[in-house]
Amino acid sequence: MSAITATDATIALDGTRKVRGNLTGGRIRLAMVIVALVFSIMAGRLVWLGSLEIDTSIEGQARDAIMASRPPILDRNGLEMAIDIRVPSLFAEPRRILDVDEATDALRTVLPDLDRAWLRDRLEGDRGFVWVARELTPGQQERILRLGIPGIDFVTESKRFYPGGPAVSHVMGAVNIDNVGIAGVEKHLDDDNLALLQDLGLARGNAMSPVELTIDMRIQNVLYDELGDALERYQAIAAAGAIMDVRTGEVIAMVSLPDFDPNAPATMLEEGSFNRMTAVKFEPGSTFKTITFAAALESGAISLNDSVDARFGVRFGRYTIDDFHGKHRVLSVPEVYKYSSNIGTIKMMQAMGKDNFQAFVDKMGFVGTPKIELPEVTNSTVPAKFSEVGAATISFGHGLSVTPLQMLNATASLVNGGYLMEATLFPRTAEEARARSRQVVSERTSDQIRYLMRLNALEGSGSRANRIADGYRWGGKTGTAEKVVDGRYSSENVTAFFASAFPLDDPQYAMFVLVDEPKAENEQSGRTAGWNAGEMSGRIVARAAPMLGIRPNTDPMVDAALVPAGLNL
């Protein structure tokens, strides 16, 4: 074996170093290639993302519209009836989500009610923006943000809140999840001018002028409370009512039960939750006799000093129309009203003629739909041509169907000097209302109707209610209409009405209320309107009149002043 020299050792060491150096250089170059490749991929991803068209909408809805506010709505005293509150809503950008399954499971730790399959489908794909959950709480928002999921974010939406809740539901209506009006005043605002306001830039971040309504929340709550009491007290299936300023046509209260919660719009779909003041028509029963009296008195065919033979029923072929509680004697015209005589009312109508009577019904606004700023209205049902028997039954409120609001409008016109004006939920002055009204009866006829309404409160079917509302010079006319069941009138199913006004010495407010299918309160009471709708009206007036600045006055001279000059008592 030959010995290894120093020179040989040096050559071997240099070769080893060279190999190691080449290996290290190769590794560095490989690492640089890998890093460059990673950065190239990232750069490509950034370029791709940068080239994407920015989507300014979420599922076709513009973000500006989502974030837009609605104007606050106030009652006539400045109380808030509807306001916007800001709430977070969760959306996703599926094309930015890296791990769909991980994101799905993480979100469901905060929102366990979301179906996993549904949520995964929402988060998958290359869509720009999709809703995940709307109107969350700040606490839920904070927990989701802590998850740190890429492609998940929030937008602040406007959520409508109604401080009055169900008490004013049929007036306010509601908005949907996108803050778009779907019923009531809210829908009217959208249909009429809200879009214009938003076009002018009055959206989120800018002040929107409040919308003032004519509703008085104090009176609204009184009406709501008394109607709710009537449902329970009389075991009725529904009740409704409204109060109007007879000088302006402004509706200061309107309630219909069953109601719904506008803060939970889905409750609108519950059975019976519709506005019976505007969207339902009824046979008005004897409340319509006030219209017939006004027609006959205005025509001059009848005067308050006349008498009517009500000894026998009115016969049409095989049928005879009689009185419910007939006196079967000659009645004075005021007695016909006080005793609610069908016979006397028919004969008064016949004295003026059925064609003249039909023309008057049309003039009083009973044909078509009631006019008010609510989309929930329905057409009345009035025969196109009155026959002899048709005119006879219509004279006492059967054979036609009208909305309660139309009856309220007519009642107001008959006590305010004879001026028929459209109902409104938006403020207007008496001068503006008078300029837009039309005179349907003379002031003389109006005075005579006020006398008859007060007489009925003092001595007729309104006497029970008048004792409750003592001092407020209230009066009106009851009506009890049998409902049609299986094509026939049913004496077991009735709707009770009361059309009234107060104070009749200086008319300011008209009211119309109804109780649908009331039962007798006790063994001593009945089911006709004087026992339920009448007494309820008295309770409403007793509570509402003081709030409206009307002082009680029991001076008998006040009622004496309502008696028309020349009336033979």
Look up residue 382 and give its two tokens: 């009035």
Q: What is the mean pLDDT of the chain?
A: 88
The runs of H, that is alpha helices, within 325-478 are 333-338, 342-352, 354-363, 388-395, 404-415, 430-436, 443-459, 463-468
The residue count of the chain comes to: 569
* Under 8 Å between Cβ of 555 and 512: no
Distances in whole angstroms, Cα of residue 510 to Cα of each of 155, 207, 251, 269, 480: 48, 37, 10, 31, 19
* Under 8 Å between Cβ of 420 and 410: yes
Query: What are 412-428's pLDDT values in tens digits?
Result: 999 999 999 999 999 99
* Under 8 Å between Cβ of 241 and 248: no
Query: What are 237-265's pLDDT values in tens digits?
Result: 999 999 999 999 999 999 999 999 999 99
Look up residue 314 and give its two tokens: 């009115």
Q: Burial level of 180, CB count in 10 A (0-12/13-18/19+)?
A: middle
Cα 253 from Cα 230, distance rounded (Å): 17
Amino acid at 148: G
Q: What integer is the mean pLDDT of 147-160?
A: 88
Q: Burial level of 175, CB count in 10 A (0-12/13-18/19+)?
A: buried
Centroid of chain to Cα 2: 115
Cα 281 from Cα 381, distance rounded (Å): 8
Is omega for the bond preceding 150 within 30 degrees of 0, making it cis?
no
Q: What integer is the mean pLDDT of 443-457?
A: 98
Look up residue 466 and give its two tokens: 């008048």
Characterise 78 by phi-psi region: left (phi > 0), alpha (psi -120 to 50), beta (else).
left
- Portion of the chain with pLDDT greater than 70, in percent: 87
Q: What is the CATH number of domain 61-212?
A: 3.90.1310.10
Cα 412 from Cα 247, distance rounded (Å): 8
The band of 33, judged by pLDDT with boundaries at 50, 70 and 90, is confident
* Under 8 Å between Cβ of 84 and 64: no
Q: Is the pLDDT of residue 541 over 60?
A: yes
Name every residue whose Cβ is closer than 8 Å to that of residue 254 and which is 6 or more positions away in sequence.
Answer: 170, 171, 215, 220, 223, 241, 242, 243, 275, 277
Cα 194 from Cα 415, distance rounded (Å): 36
Q: Is the pLDDT of residue 568 over 80?
A: no
Q: What integer is the mean pLDDT of 192-207?
A: 47
Q: Is the pLDDT of residue 223 over 60?
A: yes
Residue with tokens 């609510």: 374
* Under 8 Å between Cβ of 314 and 343: yes
CATH 3.90.1310.10 domain extents, the chain: 61-212
> Rounded to a whole number, what is the largest CA-CA distance in the chain?
161
489 forms bridges with which residues in the sheet? Answer: 484
Characterise 34 by phi-psi region: left (phi > 0), alpha (psi -120 to 50), beta (else).
alpha
The band of 289, judged by pLDDT with boundaries at 50, 70 and 90, is very high
Q: Could you write out the DSSP letters of every residue in 88-103?
A: EEEEE-GGG-S-HHHH
Look up residue 89 and give its two tokens: 């809503």
The runs of H, that is alpha helices, within 275-400 are 289-299, 333-338, 342-352, 354-363, 388-395
Cα 457 from Cα 442, distance rounded (Å): 23
Q: Is the dihedral of CA 165, 166, 167, 172 positive or negative?
A: positive
CATH 3.40.710.10 domain extents, the chain: 219-560
Name the residue among 421, 419, 473, 417 with its Cα closest to residue 445.
Answer: 417
Amino acid at 34: I
Q: What integer is the mean pLDDT of 482-499?
A: 83
Q: What is the CATH number of domain 219-560?
A: 3.40.710.10
pLDDT, residue 204, reads: 37
Choose between 95 and 192: higher pLDDT: 95
Q: Is the pLDDT of residue 360 over 60?
A: yes
Q: Is the dihedral of CA 292, 293, 299, 301 positive or negative?
A: positive
Query: What are 505-527's pLDDT values in tens digits?
Result: 999 999 999 999 999 998 888 88
Residue with tokens 């209506």: 173
Q: What integer is the mean pLDDT of 213-226?
A: 98
The band of 67, judged by pLDDT with boundaries at 50, 70 and 90, is low
pLDDT, residue 464, reads: 93
Cα 187 from Cα 453, distance rounded (Å): 37
Q: Is the pLDDT of residue 54 over 60?
A: no
pTM of the full predicted structure? Answer: 0.83
pLDDT, residue 493, reads: 87
pLDDT, residue 14, reads: 58
Query: What are 115-153's pLDDT values in tens digits?
Result: 999 999 999 988 778 889 988 989 999 999 999 999 899
pLDDT, residue 326, reads: 83
Query: What are 294-324's pLDDT values in tens digits?
Result: 999 999 999 999 999 999 999 998 889 999 8
